[in-house]
């Protein structure tokens, strides 16, 4: 089962991808996690990705396509995977389809988690991240036991630059311009499925599992 998660930044597609991964025992492949790991390690890819992410822009195709294609070719992806954060553009989608076709495989589902922009801005501006261990929280939906202190390691929490309202708005503008066409692309391919992302997290997951039956 090869699945692509679609949806604007902050729509909750990453959370749903992890739940799908756990339920169906397939890898959750997040380009965001790959970028953050590279940024923390100070690699060249990380430095390049950080300049785009801090500005609320999308990371260019050439920095991600080969990385993702190589990842999905690994043994743990034999029974499928959930792609979260890729593809973001039509060229990326086409590059992925072409690479998979060479191995005689294709994407089974593209699941679009639909959430209005206003909801997303409110959600993301409430996020907090630990500067040390990377754990993430939300001041309303997943607060820490002590305000601004990480439950896991006790270090300070911050509002990341890419979660600030002005940056989120930029990211949403970029999303609608560059990524929204993917919905049409996968709809035409006959593999698009849409779910209402404003529902409770478990209700959204229930809707997704119904689609995957």
67 CB-near residues (< 8 Å, 6+ apart) = 31, 34, 45
Question: What is the C-alpha separation between 205 and 194, in angstroms, rounded?
Answer: 12
Amino acid 67: pLDDT: 74
Amino acid 53: pLDDT: 83
The residue annotated as part of the active site, out of 2, 50, 88, 128, is 88
155-168 confidence digits (pLDDT tens): 999 999 888 999 99
Residue ranges covered by each domain of the chain: 2-115+166-212, 126-163
pLDDT < 50 stretches in the chain: none
- Using the structure block, give the residue that is written with the tokens 């409110």: 122
| CATH architecture, domain 2-115+166-212 | 3-Layer(aba) Sandwich (3.40)
Amino acid 117: pLDDT: 94
Query: 3-class DSSP state for residue 186?
Result: helix
The residue annotated as part of the active site, out of 2, 50, 123, 127, is 127
Residue 93 CA: distances (Å) to CA of 11, 26, 68, 189: 20, 21, 11, 11
CB 131 within 8 A of CB 155: yes
The residue annotated as part of the active site, out of 13, 50, 123, 128, is 13
Helices 181-188 and 90-102, packing angle to 10 deg: 40
CB 179 within 8 A of CB 88: yes
What's the predicted TM-score (pTM) here?
0.75
Amino acid 205: pLDDT: 97
Q: Is 36 a catalytic residue?
A: no
Q: Is 160 a catalytic residue?
A: yes
The residue annotated as part of the active site, out of 48, 71, 160, 169, is 160
The residue annotated as part of the active site, out of 2, 50, 128, 171, is 171
Question: What is the C-alpha separation between 163 and 104, in angstroms, rounded?
Answer: 39
Q: Is 127 a catalytic residue?
A: yes
């Amino acid at each position: 089962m090869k699945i692509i998660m679609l949806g604007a930044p902050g729509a909750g597609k990453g959370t749903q991808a992890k739940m799908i991964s756990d339920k169906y025992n397939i890898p959750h492949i997040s380009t965001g996690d790959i970028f953050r790991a590279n940024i923390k390690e100070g690699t060249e890819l990380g430095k390049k990705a950080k300049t785009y992410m801090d500005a609320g822009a999308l990371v260019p195709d050439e920095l991600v396509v080969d990385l993702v294609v190589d990842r999905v070719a690994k043994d743990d992806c034999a029974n499928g995977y959930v792609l979260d954060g890729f593809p973001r553009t039509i060229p990326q989608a086409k590059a992925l389809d072409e690479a998979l076709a060479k191995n005689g495989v294709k994407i089974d589902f593209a699941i679009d988690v639909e959430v209005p922009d206003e909801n997303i801005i409110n959600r993301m501006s409430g996020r907090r991240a630990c500067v040390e261990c990377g754990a993430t929280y939300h001041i309303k939906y997943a607060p820490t036991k002590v305000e601004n202190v990480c439950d896991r390691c006790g270090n300070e929490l911050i509002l990341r630059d890419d979660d600030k309202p002005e940056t989120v708005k930029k990211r949403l503008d970029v999303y609608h311009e560059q990524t929204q066409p993917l919905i049409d692309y996968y709809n035409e391919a006959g593999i698009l499925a849409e779910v209402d992302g404003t529902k409770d997290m478990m209700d959204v997951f229930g809707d997704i599992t119904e689609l995957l039956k």
